[in-house]
Amino acid sequence: MKLERKEILKALETITIAGEGKNMVESGAVANVMTFGDEVVVDLVLTTPALHIKKRAEVDVMKAIHDHVYEKAKVKVNIKIESPEKPEIKGKAIPGIKNIVAVSSGKGGVGKSTVTANLAATLANMGFNVGVLDADIYGPSMPIMFDVENARPISVEVDGRSKMKPISAYGVEILSIGFFTKGDQAIIWRGPMASKALNQMIFDADWGELDFLLIDLPPGTGDIHLSIMQSLPITGAVVVSTPQAVALADAKKGVSMFMSESINVPVLGIVENMAYFTPAELPNNKYYIFGENGARNLAQDLDVPFLGEVPIVQSIREAGDYGRPAALQNDTVVSEVFEQVTRNIVEQVVKRNDTLPPTEAIKITTMAGCSATNKN
């Protein structure tokens, strides 16, 4: 006798899944039905691993087919157990911090920390309350970039608990593992130790009220990235790249990491650093040493915003070495570049942050535009 698939499905509709109140077909438990003459193979997907539920489902399927279709049918039941989907965990919020933006790069040496420091300084200059967490455990650079290498966070008591007070520089609150080690001391830690140190700097710190906390992530995609993404409610991520193909390939991996199901963090956009060289004496001349529009084209290919270009300018390098963010210098080319990139990031934060109250969104966009308005 040749069995028909639709008859098998009709028979399976007479079976109710325990605890669901729906028949087996309606609930989606029947993944597939195959017939070969008088043979039937039924694939089931159940959400409970209980042995008696599995056994009952198998017996019910065989009985339904024998009773309603063909009593001599040869029935095989394959059962797969899948855990029900859990609600997405976005991490533990930090009281007082409104937006957390991760700054990442797939590759080292593209100027991620330089961009982070200047974004923070620009945000502070616009009137925002800003903090920077230097999460680059093995290569902390924020203490140098803000000229606070010799500073040491003090302990303060908050609600009966002892917490670290971040170091303030140029209107930015800063915490870095570099504050707790000597400048020539290598940090040789395994992943769990690094993650534990980061958690202490995040949750055992008196950050106060911040509009933005920027996290300077280490290069690549690894342990620390996963730990931070899972422990904090990240508003969005900014990916920094240079124009050449080898850097863009790694930047693409960085974007892919944030978009993966396990992390699922919105990508606010890509910043192209070292986009072109501009001599100080010829500010209108642009020389595309590493290639032209590489990150812009990548952003278009990945369907993420392009946030802007940062040129190769001597003053940016000097400012980083001297510990004063270039965005605060008198170099109008550099300050205007970082201001535009920062405004683009703020706009993306407001656009993508559904939990932001309307009044807060208006405040943020107004503050982002205030410095540009004051110049006119």
Residue spans of alpha helices (H) in 105-159: 112-126, 142-145
Contacts of 95 (CB under 8 A, 6+ apart): none
Q: What single DSSP character describes residue 192?
A: H
Q: CA angle 316-141-292, nearest 5°?
A: 45
| Beta bridge partners of residue 32, listed in sequence order | 43
For residue 224, report the phi and psi dihedrals to the nearest 5 degrees. Answer: -65, -40
Q: Is 178 annotated as a binding residue?
A: no
| Beta bridge partners of residue 238, listed in sequence order | 103, 269
Question: What are the structure tokens assigned to 329, written together?
Answer: 């210098």
Q: Is 108 annotated as a binding residue?
A: yes
CA distance 274 to 268: 20
Q: Is 69 annotated as a binding residue?
A: no
CA distance 166 to 201: 9
Q: Are strands 97-104 and 130-134 parallel, antiparallel or unpaired?
A: unpaired
CA distance 341 to 318: 20
Q: CA angle 222-239-291, nearest 5°?
A: 115
Q: Is 28 annotated as a binding residue?
A: no
Q: Is 110 annotated as a binding residue?
A: yes
User: Given the structure tokens 């339904």, which residue do they identify?
Assistant: 64
Q: Which of 86, 78, 85 is nearest to 30 (CA)?
A: 78
Q: Quick one: 93 exposed, middle or buried, by C-beta within 10 A (0-12, 13-18, 19+)? A: exposed
Contacts of 257 (CB under 8 A, 6+ apart): 104, 221, 225, 263
Secondary structure class of 290 (helix, strand, coil): coil
Interhelix angle for 358-375 vs 332-352, to 10°?
A: 160
Q: Is 107 annotated as a binding residue?
A: yes
Q: Which of 361, 338, 345 is nearest to 125 (CA)?
A: 338
Q: Is 109 annotated as a binding residue?
A: yes
Q: What single DSSP character describes residue 279?
A: -
Summarize the annotated binding site as residue ranges: 106-113
Summarize the annotated binding site for ATP as residue ranges: 106-113
